[in-house]
């Protein structure tokens, strides 16, 4: 593979990484929802405490993944796409 082909490999791997991050975020969000239910409604203190710890770790991981997506330009691309679909200028 020559140097001219490398831009495409990098672009594909970045797109694959962005897609992977989105899948992981969706999975984490599902877990966070379930944990939030346990935290709010479970009467077992140990179970609630464990849920709070896991919830906190997942939120931290979500924030890191969101930063990675932002650094990769995913939000700008998504915003441009949505604006193009709606015809919005801002």
Residue 18 has pLDDT above 90, yes or no: no
What pTM does this model have?
Answer: 0.72
Confidence of residue 39 (pLDDT cuts 50, 70, 90): very high
Spatial neighbors of 9 by CB under 8 A, at least 6 apart, are 1
Spatial neighbors of 52 by CB under 8 A, at least 6 apart, are 39
> CA nearest 72: which of 25, 3, 4?
25
Choice between 17 and 8, residue whose per-residue pLDDT is larger = 17
Q: How many CA atoms lie within 13 A of 8 on its CB side?
A: 5
DSSP 1: -
Residue 30 has pLDDT above 90, yes or no: yes
Residue 10 has pLDDT above 90, yes or no: no
Residue 19 has pLDDT above 50, yes or no: yes
Confidence of residue 3 (pLDDT cuts 50, 70, 90): low
């Amino acid at each position: 593979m020559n140097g001219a082909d490398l831009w495409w490999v990098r672009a594909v791997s970045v797109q694959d990484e962005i897609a992977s991050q989105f899948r992981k975020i969706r999975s984490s969000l599902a877990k966070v929802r379930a944990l939030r239910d346990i935290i709010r409604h479970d009467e077992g203190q140990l179970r609630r405490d464990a849920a709070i710890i896991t919830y906190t770790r997942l939120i931290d991981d979500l924030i890191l993944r969101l930063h990675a997506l932002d650094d990769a330009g995913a939000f700008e691309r998504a915003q441009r796409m949505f604006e193009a679909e709606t015809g919005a200028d801002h």
